[in-house]
Amino acid sequence: MPRQLSAMIESFPLARAFNISRGAKTTADVVTCTITENGVSGRGECVPYKRYGETVEGVLKAIEAYAAAISAGATRQDLQSAMKPGAARNAIDCALWDIESKLSGRPAAMTACRILPRPVPTAVTVSLGDPSDMADEARAHASQKLLKVKVGTSDDRARIHAVASAARDAEIILDANEGWDESNIREHLLLAAELHISLIEQPMPAGKDEILAHIPHPVPICADESVHTLADLEALADRYDAINIKLDKTGGLTEALEMRDRARELGFGVMIGCMVGTSLAMAPAVLLAQDADWVDLDGPLLLARDRSPGLSYSGSLVSPPSPQLWG
């Protein structure tokens, strides 16, 4: 019997509103792809992102349109050329990884990882708000070793000071989500250096980041919205020190693995990040993150309820997925 593909939209409430410079969200709206063969199912989850022109309805339609190709035996390699990078391809790619591992009895980690996968430390996110509220949230995560702090306003000085003071023992990443500009970037970079911030993520809007090639980087700068796929890397070498690889941007684990390796060859630091989704979306990224410099896979920790079984989080560590979840 040929493989069957199905997909559905699911919504998971967040434990609290999640705020970044572009707005707030209260639910994680995801699309889940399931591929079934001989009673065995593989799953993949994606998070359509409005910033990239995606909607859950459009992504669902794109996934379902590929059902005939899956029934005809399309492979992960076929998928790379048949669909453009993005959320829809990610869900199908990860579902193919999952069913391949389940049918073969060979865990996905044996293909994706160079070493036996282990728990990796992940950042925990402090969402954008008033400085005092952000400081309180940082203190609530006092046991975490790495905090990713959402900034991205015209003047983030008070926020940066407040969080750095409240989390003196934590490594801090500032994520500006394209919210800074030429009038304030130098000031924010210098303050970040003074307060020993470890990394600044996407300070300038994608496509308007030329200034980064012409100013000092007293703190390393990481591309997020400016980098999606393998093809983007070389053009960013003069502007960024690191890149954030997300499966919903690359279009799945298959390209993400190639992108990570090429980034290393070009001298970039590597962060493995995520959209706000469930453990099913994070599971393949945990394998990708095994040799990353920074890991930001706390999406399930932001939810009021996660899938069951989900990933195991303990303190700052997230463990590789169980076969019951994925891979």
Active-site hit among 84, 145, 148, 246: 246
The DSSP secondary structure of 94-139, one letter per residue, reads HHHHHHHHHHH---HHHHH-SS----EE--EEE-S--HHHHHHHHH
As beta bridge partners, residue 199 has 173
Q: Which of 98, 128, 109, 117 is nearest to 281 (CA)?
A: 98
Residue type present at position 244: N
Active-site hit among 102, 148, 150, 249: 150
Cα–Cα distance for residue pair 230/235, rounded to 1 Å: 11
As beta bridge partners, residue 295 has 272
- Each as own residue / partner, the long-range contacts of residues 65-74 (CB below 8 Å, 24 or more positions apart, any chain) are 66/5, 66/92, 67/4, 67/5, 67/6, 70/3, 70/4, 70/5, 70/35, 71/2, 71/3, 71/4, 71/5, 72/2, 73/2, 73/3
Count how many Cα atoms sit within 13 Å of the Cα of residue 140 in the half-sphere of its side chain: 10
**Are the C-beta atoms of residues 281 and 275 closer than 8 Å to each other?**
yes
Q: Is 150 a catalytic residue?
A: yes
Q: Is 246 a catalytic residue?
A: yes
The residue to which tokens 């690191």 are assigned: 242
Positions annotated as catalytic residues are 150, 246
